[in-house]
Structure formats: C-alpha cells, structure tokens
Amino acid sequence: MSSVEPGLARAFAAMVRRELALAYYNRGDLANPLLFFVIVSSLFPFGVGSDPEQLRHIAPGVIWVAALLATLLGLDNLFKPDFEDGTLEQMALSPHPLTVLVLAKILVHWLVSGIPLIVVAPVIALMLNLDPALLPVLLASLAIGTPTLSLIGAIGVALTAGMRRGGVLLTLLVLPLYVPVLIFGANLLEAASSGLPVAGQFYVLAAIGMLALVLAPVAAAAALRISLE
C-alpha cells in the first residue's frame, strides 16, 4: 500500500506538470476565456445604462454569468486533443486510475482559467460599482464556485469528447448543472450587499463543490471510457 500511494502521487504530479507545460505552449488560447469574461462584463453597462445604483444591483449576476460562460468557453480542449492524438487511450491503459489522471487535468484547467478570472473579478466588480467592502465575499465565492464549474464541466466534455462538433451538446448538458452554482453564488453577493447573513449560501456552495469533487472525476472517467469504445 505504501508503494502504491507514492506512485499514484507521482503520476498525479506528472500529469499536472504535463498539462501545465501544454497550457504554457498553447498560452495564446489561455487568454480567450479571460478576454471573454472581461468583454461580456464590460458590455452590460452599455446595454442597461450607466446608472450606478442599477449597475450595483446587477453586478453579482453579471459577474457570475460571465464567469460561468468563460469557464464553459475553455472546457472544449480539456479532453478532445488527447482523444484525437491517442493520449487518452494511453491514459486509460495506464496502471494508474483514470479518475486520478482526470482530476489532475481538471485541476490544471481551473488553475489556468479559473484563477485569472478570480484575479480580474475585483476590477470588473469596481467597474460595475459594486461596494468595495464586498470584494472579499466575491473572491471567496468565486474561489469556491469556479472549481465546481470546472469539475461539473469535465463530465460534459468527457461525454462529448468523441464527437466532432460537440460544442452545442456540451452546452446543453452542462448549463443545467451550472444553475445551482450560479443561483447561490449570485444570491450570496446580493445577500451580503443587503447586510444579510451569507453563511448558508457559503455552506451550500461548499457542499456542491465537495459533491462535485467526489463524483465528477469518477463520472468523467467513466464517460471517457465510453467515448473510447
């Protein structure tokens, strides 16, 4: 048992290093979700007007919807390149559990797409006239919610990995599963802006995240095996 665990940890670390190296090599693609997040958030004031009170009211929903769509935009390349070049088959045939390797890929996806969104979010929030006192709440909610979006999205990507044009199907599969995260994430900020307790929303977001952490890698690995058949 003691020899298996270090080997599994090394496999996980090796997969993380590989994915980070690939992300760096294709770093031009990394900017797309971040640019999408910034552009979508910036367009809302042009559409709804520049009234500060109105912007403050819609800011939580705008930030969360933009973050959700930006995460969805970067999901398509999570497994498809590995499926096309045969790497996915090698992963499935390796002595290490596919679930662990999938989790490593999801972790890197969040590191290269979720973290930049969290870093930029305060700037977008201030642009939308959100109270600066709410920025810690915003960052905490995104830190809990964005990994959940990556985990849930991985299931949809795994199911559509073998399809040539699975983007539309991916959206249809994933968006309904994103709705609870969107609801509680946006409601958390709205409650905080009204001076109401937010512990309940945090607990629900954390519970959804823990459930996704446990189930999503297993479901994604099973879906990948089906796609390989």
What are the pLDDT digits (tens) for 35-63?
889 998 888 888 777 777 888 888 888 89
Q: Tell me the pLDDT tens digit for each residue of 165-205.
A: 656 677 788 888 899 999 998 888 888 888 888 888 899 99
The burial class, CB within 10 Å (0-12 / 13-18 / 19+), for 218 is middle
The burial class, CB within 10 Å (0-12 / 13-18 / 19+), for 25 is exposed
| Cα gap 171→173, rounded to integer Å | 5
For 85-101, what is the mean pLDDT? 83
- pLDDT score for 209: 93
| SS3 (DSSP) at 3 | coil
Q: In the structure encoding, which two tokens stand for residue 181, read together? A: 């995260």
| SS3 (DSSP) at 150 | helix
Residue 107 lies in domain: 4-228
Reported as a pLDDT band with limits 50, 70 and 90, residue 208 is very high
CA nearest neighbour of 64 among 145, 168, 176, 171: 145
- pLDDT score for 167: 64
Q: How many domains does the chain have?
A: 1
CA nearest neighbour of 78 among 137, 179, 192, 159: 159
- pLDDT score for 141: 92
Q: Is the pLDDT of residue 6 over 50?
A: yes
Reported as a pLDDT band with limits 50, 70 and 90, residue 4 is very low
The answer to whether the beta carbons of residues 143 and 207 sit under 8 Å apart is: no
Q: What is the mean pLDDT of the chain?
A: 85
For 26-39, what is the mean pLDDT? 82
- pLDDT score for 122: 92
